[in-house]
């Protein structure tokens, strides 16, 4: 059974999708672009400003479900230009002080509304996102 997660503190969906969906303890967040939640417009400024807005939008979606960035286990970053990687990486890293999630980063041909960055995340509730994995290989 799935639960739809929605908050006015993050941008409304631009199409037929949900901001996030929870199935059991796993939360699948739709990709966030740097839309201002109030105006629905891309924030003005460089990729640094856009990356902060994206991360703040993700924070708001997770908060709607009582979660934080610490619950994120996997992210995917979509960049229009891999030349922006270092700038986005620095801002991204400031949101994950300890135990950052697994991550993929790819360059894409285009993003909605001319955004320069989009990030999607998967989070796990119930305290399953932290700790140390045990080696059971033998």
Q: State how far the Cα of 107 lies from the Cα of 41, in Å rounded to an integer.
A: 22
Look at residue 138 and tell me if it is in a domain: no
pLDDT tens-digit series, residues 69-124: 999 999 999 999 999 999 999 999 999 989 999 999 999 999 999 999 999 999 99
Look at residue 134 and tell me if it is in a domain: no
What is the number of domains present in the chain?
1
Look at residue 74 and tell me if it is in a domain: yes
CATH of the domain at 31: 3.30.1330.40
Q: Which domain holds residue 110?
A: 2-124
Task: Supply the angle between the helices 47-63 and 85-94 in degrees, to the nearest 10.
Answer: 30
Read off the pTM.
0.90
pLDDT tens-digit series, residues 18-43: 999 999 999 999 999 999 999 999 99
Residues 6+ apart with CB under 8 A from 64: 5, 6, 7, 9, 10, 19, 20
């Amino acid at each position: 059974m799935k639960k739809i997660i929605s908050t006015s503190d993050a941008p409304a969906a631009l199409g037929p999708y949900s901001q996030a969906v929870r199935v059991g303890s796993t939360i699948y967040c739709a990709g966030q672009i740097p839309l201002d939640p109030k105006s629905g417009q891309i924030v003005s400024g460089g990729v640094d400003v856009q990356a902060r807005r994206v991360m703040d939008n993700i924070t708001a979606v997770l908060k709607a479900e009582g979660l934080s960035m610490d619950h994120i286990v996997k992210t995917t970053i979509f960049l229009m230009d891999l030349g922006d990687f270092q700038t986005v990486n620095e801002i991204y890293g400031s949101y994950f002080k300890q135990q950052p999630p697994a991550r993929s980063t790819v360059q894409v041909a285009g993003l909605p509304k001319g955004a320069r960055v989009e990030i999607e995340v998967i989070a796990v509730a119930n305290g399953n996102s932290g700790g140390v994995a045990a080696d059971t290989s033998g």
